[in-house]
Amino acid sequence: MIAALGFVIAALWRLIDPAASRAPYGVLFNVSAAQATPLSVQLELDFITTKFATARVLRPDLNAVNLLAIGRAVDLNMVCGVAWSDAIGDMQRQLDLLAQAISSHPSTCSAVLIGNDDMAGMSSETVRQAIVTTRESVTKAVMTWKDRHPKDSTTIQVPVGIAQTDAQWVTATGIVMATYCDVVGVNIYLDSDDMIDTLNVKWNAMKALFGDRVRLTGARLGSSKAAAMGAFETWARSRKADKLAIYAEYTSPYTKR
């Protein structure tokens, strides 16, 4: 009953709150495995569609719940993650789920990001190979979709890269890693009182190094969330014309509505 009510509320909200009024940024959907059930994930992602332009997930699945399939079911644009893993077969299993999602509905993923602040200690060759393998999987999935839809002339581009902090990117190793990436995902953590000034400095430094490949993939907004979110939204709206993929860290939008 509660679940059904949640779906009804989300559906009604979409009717009275059109897409134009949604925030000009997305959210990092980052729930724990213990919280991830098919029903809870669908409620969360369905609610996100009423409030935000897009969502970023750190991996294709969680606790055997296929996040990409549910995201597609609620018509949510997503930046799809592949979690770095040394476990035998885990990376390939994630790539298989990613390819399945893209080959069925390529619009599911606007980009693919490997890792999240955990690639900096690896050799540049390890990172290069991870990106090459992921890009090959994505390209094959796109071609599969095109083979199934020969009359569709839609241009499909799913850039591949990694996500790490601005401090990790501006090192010599980070600059080398960026040469392998179609998209440079940057997490900027803002805990100071001059949050927007700090954000501008860090963002401009990244843009100067990597140009239009940079996407803001995480912005930790510090302790005063209400004021921080207002300032961040103003910052995001002022850059809407840049078509940036901008994300605010927000663990559980449905339960924190």
How far apart CA 100 and CA 70 sit, in angstroms, is 13
DSSP 8-state secondary structure symbol assigned to residue 246: B
Find the angle CA(72)-CA(160)-CA(199) to the nearest 5 degrees: 95
Give tens-digit pLDDT for 69-113: 999 988 888 999 999 987 778 999 999 999 999 999 888 899 999
DSSP 8-state secondary structure symbol assigned to residue 181: -
Give the pair of three-digit tokens for residue 145: 């979709």
Is the Cβ–Cβ distance between 183 and 157 less than 8 Å? no
| Mean pLDDT, residues 42-66 | 86
**Environment class of residue 106 by beta-carbon count within 10 Å: exposed (0-12), middle (13-18) or buried (19+)?**
buried
Return the number of other C-beta atoms located less than 10 Å from residue 161's C-beta: 26
| pLDDT value of residue 256 | 47
| Mean pLDDT, residues 164-177 | 95
Report strand pairing: 78-82 vs 109-114: parallel
How far apart CA 157 and CA 142 sit, in angstroms, is 8
Select the more confidently predicted residue: 20 or 199.
Answer: 199
Q: What is the pTM of this model?
A: 0.85
Collapsing DSSP to helix, strand or coil, 207 comes out as: helix
Residue ranges of domains in the chain, CATH in brackets: 2-249 (3.20.20.80)
Task: Name the residue among 239, 179, 159 with its Cα closest to residue 204.
Answer: 239
| pLDDT value of residue 249 | 56
**Environment class of residue 211 by beta-carbon count within 10 Å: exposed (0-12), middle (13-18) or buried (19+)?**
exposed
Q: Kind and range of the H or E element at 247?
A: strand 247-249
Would you list the DSSP string of 86-122? -STTHHHHHHHHHHHHHHH-GGGEEEEEE-SS-STTS
Return the number of other C-beta atoms located less than 10 Å from residue 47's C-beta: 22
pLDDT band at 3; cut points 50, 70, 90: very low
| Mean pLDDT, residues 129-133 | 96
| pLDDT value of residue 255 | 43
Give the pair of three-digit tokens for residue 171: 């090192």
